Amino acid sequence: MIIDLPRTTTVDINAELLRLRKEGGVVTIGRVMTLVIDATDADAEEAISTANVASREHPCRIIVLSPQEESEDLGGQIRVGGDAGASEVIVLKPPLSAMDHADALITPLLLPDAPIVAWWASVVPLVPSATGIGGMAQRRITDAKGAFNPPAVLCALADAYTPGDTDLSWTRITRWRALLASALEQVSDQRVTKARLHGDVNSPSILLMGAWLRGALGCEFEAIYDPEATGLVSVCLDTPSGSIKIDRPDGHNATLTQPGQPPHIITLPSRTQGECLAEELRRMDNDPVYGEALRRVVNC
């Protein structure tokens, strides 16, 4: 069910939510958080679809801020039932100028006593914690992948890092990091002399992976960029026992090569944005490993 509320107020939106709960049985029981999405310069429908996928694992109230440059009034929309996944979606369409006070705009719509997560679906703020919605959120999720200059964005995020920050470029390499750590534990000499990464140009995931490997293993880091590649293609760790390599040329199946063992074919598909968002919503605490890797990117 989708209910449009043109030229509305947050008071009217709250009143409509109350009416829906009374008349249609729509409830907020079980909502574990409020997810606030800044959809400035983003496809709001795509962001809502991504959040709906994540909400099936984390039922929440979703508030979408989709500013309208030429508008002078606040437009609103409520989605419940099949149009809202396992959540209830409130779409706010304020004038672009009102985004300077986005925190005041969404405050009346927040779930009481529930954590707040902020996600920027497109534009990455250089200081996420200093924004209106970032200042009230326990977790702040950005995505440097779509930025014009991802390395520069990561450097800016490193300078402004605050506990609770994370980036989906880091989430995309979670399985890679787990596989490498597991494979390294199985070699007799675990010293890594060099790490070699191959992937698309200016990939923030490659930069974060390299920074993490250099920090965790104290090894040299070399990135080989391929303009025709999509995402991370391969990672190779050189050890005295031999090379450990994960090679995923087709973006789906990978070959794991380890010293003294036959090659293994493993399923390693590129992760969707919904899967990455769902992973980040599983934790409300700080991710110090990401913070340390992000700080090391500056020196890569």
Write out the residue range of the structural domain in which residue 241 sits.
174-270
pLDDT at 26 over 70: no
Shared domain for 56 and 89, answered yes or no, is yes
pLDDT at 222 over 60: yes
Task: Identify residue 270 by its one-letter amino acid code.
Answer: S
Residue 181 forms part of a structural domain = yes
**Final residue of a domain: which of 141, 167, 193?**
167
pLDDT of residue 221: 87
Query: Residue 173: CA atoms inside 13 Å, Cβ hemisphere, count?
Result: 30
Shared domain for 152 and 16, answered yes or no, is yes
**Final residue of a domain: which of 132, 149, 167?**
167
pLDDT at 274 over 90: yes
Question: pLDDT band at 86, cuts 50/70/90?
Answer: low
Shared domain for 96 and 227, answered yes or no, is no
**What's the farthest any 2 CA atoms get from each other in the chain?**
69
pLDDT of residue 115: 95
Average per-residue pLDDT for the chain: 91
Query: Residue 282: CA atoms inside 13 Å, Cβ hemisphere, count?
Result: 9
Cα–Cα distance, 45 to 83 (Å, whole number):
11
pLDDT digits (tens, 9 = 90+) for 110-136: 998 899 999 999 999 999 999 999 999
pLDDT digits (tens, 9 = 90+) for 145-204: 988 899 999 999 999 999 999 999 999 999 999 999 999 999 989 999 999 999 998 789
Residue 295 forms part of a structural domain = no
Residue 15 forms part of a structural domain = yes
Residue 284 forms part of a structural domain = no
| 213-225 mean pLDDT | 91
Cα–Cα distance, 46 to 52 (Å, whole number):
10
Q: pTM of the full predicted structure?
A: 0.92
* 52 or 71, which is more confident: 52
Shared domain for 151 and 220, answered yes or no, is no
* 31 or 214, which is more confident: 214
**Final residue of a domain: which of 167, 186, 218?**
167
Instruction: Enter the tokens of residue 6.
Output: 């043109």
Shared domain for 150 and 51, answered yes or no, is yes
pLDDT at 255 over 60: yes
pLDDT digits (tens, 9 = 90+) for 45-64: 999 999 999 988 888 999 99
pLDDT at 23 over 80: no
Specify the number of domains making up the chain. 2
Ramachandran class of 202: left when φ > 0, alpha when ψ lies in -120 to 50, beta otherwise: left
